Amino acid sequence: MFARSQETEEHAARMAQNSRELGRALGLTPGELNDLELLATLHDLGKVGIDDRILNKPGPLTPEEWVEMKRHPEIGFRIAMSSPDLAPVAQYILSHHERWDGSGYPRGLAGQEIPLLSRILAVADAFDAMTTDRIYRPALGLTEAVEELRRGAGTQFDPHLVRLFLEEVLMVNGEEIQP
């Protein structure tokens, strides 16, 4: 997976760090923190089954391309289930694009139905995606990314986890932050 994209390896390292910090703030056990770090590293494992032309497309995806891209959690789940070392995080990989309001994919889970580790990852993943340059758009500044997380709390993200991420990981306590 990392051989296909340097961005993927760097993204996974940032994800592992931010997810672990949020997990610590929640008081997760050492075993849960280890699973969370493995999940953060491998959450996009299923992208190995997605065509490079879609993964590296500089512009917006077509509806057909989105259908293909949305297959990556299920592909990743199947890959993880085939390995005893990865099976413990397979359900979390499958659920990492579910949304708090139930409008995510692939199963349309909502709220507490979404596994906690997947909800943690969703916050860290969105923050990292917003604050790093992507082939299809430049990075947002820190202030804009924080506002996007706040806007998504209660719809895309678990609102409790957004608050903890901002306060405990980013150390933003409601005051105006600088980019």
Is residue 176 in some structural domain? no
Cα Dmax for the chain: 47
Supply the pTM of this predicted model: 0.89
Is residue 178 in some structural domain? no
Is residue 39 in some structural domain? yes
For 159-175, the pLDDT digits (tens) are 999 999 999 998 866 54
Is residue 179 in some structural domain? no
- pLDDT value at residue 178: 43
Q: Higher model confidence: residue 129 or residue 90? A: 90
The predicted model gives 80-94 an average pLDDT of 97
pLDDT higher than 60, residue 62: yes
Please give the tally of structural domains in the chain: 1
Is residue 165 in some structural domain? yes
pLDDT tier, 12 (very low <50, low <70, confident <90, very high otherwise)? confident
Q: What is the mean pLDDT of the chain?
A: 90
From residue 133, how far is each of 3, 7, 82, 128 by CA, in Å?
19, 10, 33, 10
Is residue 147 in some structural domain? yes
Domain of 7 in residue numbering reads as 2-169
Among residues 8, 148, 135, the alpha carbon closest in space to that of 76 is found at 8
CATH code, domain with 120: 1.10.3210.10
- pLDDT value at residue 179: 39
Query: What CA–CA distance (Å, rounded) separates 62 from 119?
Result: 27
Is residue 177 in some structural domain? no
Contact 161, 125 (CB under 8 A): no
pLDDT tier, 133 (very low <50, low <70, confident <90, very high otherwise)? confident
For 100-124, the pLDDT digits (tens) are 999 999 999 999 999 999 999 999 9
Quick count: other Cβ atoms within 10 Å of Cβ 119? 24
- pLDDT value at residue 11: 79
Radius of gyration over alpha carbons of the chain, in Å?
A: 16
Query: What CA–CA distance (Å, rounded) separates 56 from 46?
Result: 15
